Amino acid sequence: METISDNLRLIHKEIKAACMKCGRDPSDIRLIAVSKTKPAELVKAACEAGQLDIGESYVQEFLEKQASGLLSNLPIRWHFIGHLQSNKAKDIVGRTTLVHGIDKPSTAAELSKRAARQGVTADYLIEINTSGEASKFGLAPDELLSLIPRFFELPNIRLRGLMTIASPDREKARQEFRLLAKLLEKLRSISPHPNLLTELSMGMSQDYDIAIEEGATMVRIGTAIFGSRNR
């Protein structure tokens, strides 16, 4: 538990250092602690150390943790960062502060429908496959630009920006982050609500310093906070 607060302190220090390097304000970067596969006890420890933005990737695990007595009274802001399948949209709507992993108009449409049914508005990001790796989820950049009108027209959901998972290679990762930032600029120029398009969710334990240099507003960090995972 001690180590979690130490890890968080170290990461905040490195976020500050990355910001210094490129003249950004550290308060413009939101740290999301990714707790997938880790028990609720560790999430509680992170919260007690002041870390209230928590990311989960698997719907079932997310719902279990959110309902856990250990966490249910804490003011956690839950981020769903996994790939969302449209049949799961109903399970997470109304329970998250931001959905990061939407990569199809049909999934966004389902989220929209469920949000409307609950009388809420859901904020989301579109996931982009910036590396072109076949194993990764996300829209290709050219697909994004051709499909975007279908996202823009959906009620009860608000597109807030873009998300990506970069290549393991740090130099490649930098190019991919740069591409994501460019795509967000492009979207702003054609969106009916450009002021809503503020978020770039990019950077993980291995590359968040680079992501910050390239404009990240949210970094999603698991291993460097909670330790390595078995799956």
Ligand X SMILES: *Cc1c(COP(=O)(O)O)cnc(C)c1O
Length of the chain: 231
Using rule CB under 6 A, residue 165 touches ligand X: yes
Using rule CB under 6 A, residue 37 touches ligand X: no
Using rule CB under 6 A, residue 57 touches ligand X: yes
Query: Residue 95 or 188: which CB sits closer to ligand X?
Result: 95
Q: Dmax of the chain from CA atoms? A: 48
Q: At what angle do helices 141-152 and 105-118 cross, to 10 degrees?
A: 30
Using rule CB under 6 A, residue 79 touches ligand X: no
Conformation bin of residue 156: beta by default, left when phi > 0, alpha when psi is -120 to 50? left
Using rule CB under 6 A, residue 65 touches ligand X: no
**Options 204, 210, 216, 218; binder of ligand X; rule CB under 6 A:** 204
Query: Residue 81 or 148: which CB sits closer to ligand X?
Result: 81
Query: Residue 7 or 66: which CB sits closer to ligand X?
Result: 7
Query: Residue 12 or 188: which CB sits closer to ligand X?
Result: 12
CA angle at 156 for the pair 177 and 116, rounded to the nearest 5°: 135
17-36 residues in contact with ligand X (CB under 6 A) are 34, 36
CA angle at 77 for the pair 198 and 57, rounded to the nearest 5°: 85
**Partners of 187 in the β-ladder:** none
Residues within the interface to ligand X (CB under 6 A): 34, 36, 57, 81, 165, 204-206, 220-224
